[in-house]
């Protein structure tokens, strides 16, 4: 991926700390994400990558630090203001996080009906659902149930359900884990296409080298609760710290 020119910062995490009991998970993490940038986050299992995402959308409350989203301090917001800002952050969960008992169509309509926003007619809802499904190449699956979908399809539908809210920032938690290399490549290309079509910026937690090669403008390595190193994929591959370049061996 090419490097974007210097764009505005859309997400800034500073001095973020989070502990669970005696376990210090994040211990002063700093990160900046700019418009149209895709940053891949690397780190060993259990280092706090998913905790970081959950703090950003406030599914988990951090102990200290600041998180600025699109110019607003998300940690200071409450109620409606918090909901409004959260809608601008699309969280793509690892397994797609679909409701098993609902069809694909109902899964996609759900966030539109249950978050505050303009009251929409059924015709408008249909249009939004169909547009999001077309954008991930799965319009034919609109009436399927999640149990009828493959892992790759579920990830696409999970992405469509996030896109329907037209977020500015996307958080992808291991978008290609568990997929075969071909499907993983397709999902990675889809992440790029989404960035172009929707003008989003993304944080992507991934260890999949193909996904990183396709999507990353920048790579950041989380170690012992902080971002230790950062740069382009090429810089990270040749980094002097063996811990950093070990991710690429």
Ligand X SMILES: Nc1ncnc2c1ncn2[C@@H]1O[C@H](COP(=O)(O)OP(=O)(O)OP(=O)(O)O)[C@@H](O)[C@H]1O
For residues 199 and 106, what is the distance between their CA atoms, to the nearest angstrom?
A: 26
**Of 36 and 44, CB closest to Mg ion:** 44
In whole angstroms, the minimum distance from the beta carbon of 118 to ligand X comes to 34
> Under the rule (CB under 6 A), what is the footprint of ligand X?
20, 25, 43, 45-51
- Token pair for 77: 């917001």
Nearest residue (CB) to Mg ion, 133 versus 171: 171
Rounded Cα distance between 151 and 167, Å, is: 23
Closest among 21, 12, 47 to 201, alpha carbons compared: 12
The DSSP letter of residue 46 is T
What's the residue count for the chain?
249
176 is a site residue for Mg ion (CB under 5 A)? no
Min dist. Cβ of residue 241 to ligand X (A) = 19
DSSP run (H or E) holding 110: helix 104-114
Of 60 and 145, nearer to ligand X (C-beta) is: 60
Pairing of strands 169-173, 201-205: parallel
Judged by CB under 5 A, the stretch of 44-52, 67-75, 140-148, 239-247 that binds Mg ion is 44-52
Q: Which does 47 bind (CB under 5 to 8 A by kind): ligand X, Mg ion, none?
A: ligand X
Q: How far is CA 186 from the centre of its chain?
A: 17
Comparison of 46 and 181: residue with beta carbon closer to Mg ion: 46
Size of site (CB under 5 A) for Mg ion:
1
Nearer to ligand X, 25 or 216 (CB): 25
Alpha helices in 27-141, H assignment, sequence order: 49-56, 79-87, 104-114, 122-135
Residue closest to Mg ion (Cβ)? 50
Among 38, 47, 50, 195, binds Mg ion (CB under 5 A): 50
Residues in contact with Mg ion by the rule CB under 5 A: 50
């Amino acid at each position: 991926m090419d490097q974007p020119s210097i764009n505005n910062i859309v997400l800034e995490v500073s001095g973020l700390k989070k502990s669970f009991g005696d376990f210090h998970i994040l211990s002063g993490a700093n990160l900046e994400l700019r418009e149209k940038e895709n940053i891949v986050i690397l780190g060993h299992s259990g280092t706090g990558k998913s905790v970081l995402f959950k703090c950003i959308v406030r599914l988990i409350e951090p102990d200290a630090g600041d998180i600025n989203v699109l110019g607003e301090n998300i940690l200071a917001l409450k109620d409606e203001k918090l909901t409004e800002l959260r809608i601008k952050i699309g969280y793509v969960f690892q397994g797609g996080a679909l409701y098993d008992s609902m069809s694909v169509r109902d899964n996609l309509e759900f966030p539109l009906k249950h978050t505050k926003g303009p009251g929409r007619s059924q015709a408008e809802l249909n249009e939004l659902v169909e547009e999001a499904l077309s954008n991930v190449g799965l319009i034919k699956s609109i009436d399927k149930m999640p149990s009828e979908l493959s892992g790759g399809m579920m990830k696409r539908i999970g992405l469509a359900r996030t896109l329907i809210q037209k977020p500015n920032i996307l958080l992808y938690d291991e978008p290609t884990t568990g997929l075969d290399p071909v499907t993983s490549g397709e999902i990675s290309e889809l992440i790029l296409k989404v960035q172009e079509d929707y003008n989003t910026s993304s944080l992507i937690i991934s260890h999949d080298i193909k996904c990183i090669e396709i999507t990353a403008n920048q790579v950041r390595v989380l170690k012992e609760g902080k971002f230790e190193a950062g740069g382009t994929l090429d810089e990270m591959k040749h980094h002097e710290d063996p811990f950093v370049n070990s991710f690429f061996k």
